[in-house]
Amino acid sequence: MRRQSPGRVIVGVDGSLAGLRALRLAVAEARHRGVVLHAVRVWSCDSSWQGGAAGCDGEIGQQARAEAVAAFGAAMGALPVDVQVVIAPVAGRPWGALVDYAHRDSDLLFVGNSQRHWWRRLFRPSTARYCAARASCPVVVVPAESFVRDGSSRRQARAIIRDLSALGG
The pLDDT tens digits of the residues spanning 27-71 come to 999 999 999 999 999 987 665 545 555 556 667 778 888 999 999
Among 98, 106, 93, which residue's Cα sits nearest to residue 138? 106
- Identify the helix (H) or strand (E) that includes residue 85: strand 85-91
Where helices occur in the chain by DSSP H, the ranges are: 17-33, 52-76, 94-101, 118-123, 127-134, 146-149, 153-168
Query: What is the C-alpha to C-alpha distance for residues 168 and 145, in angstroms, rounded to an integer?
Result: 28
Give the model confidence (pLDDT) of 113-127 as tens digits.
Answer: 876 555 555 566 788
- Identify the helix (H) or strand (E) that includes residue 37: strand 37-43
DSSP designation for 102: S
Among 127, 119, 100, 123, which residue's Cα sits nearest to residue 18? 127
Q: Which CATH number fits domain 9-168: 1.10.10.60, 1.10.3720.10, 3.40.50.2020, 3.40.50.620?
A: 3.40.50.620
Say which range, 1-5, 97-101, 140-144, has the weakest mean pLDDT: 1-5
Query: Burial level of 75, CB count in 10 A (0-12/13-18/19+)?
Result: buried
Query: What is the C-alpha to C-alpha distance for residues 87 and 111, in angstroms, rounded to an integer?
Result: 15
C-alpha 167: how far from chain center? 35
Structure pTM?
A: 0.76
CA distances from 45 to 60, 88, 90 (A): 8, 15, 10
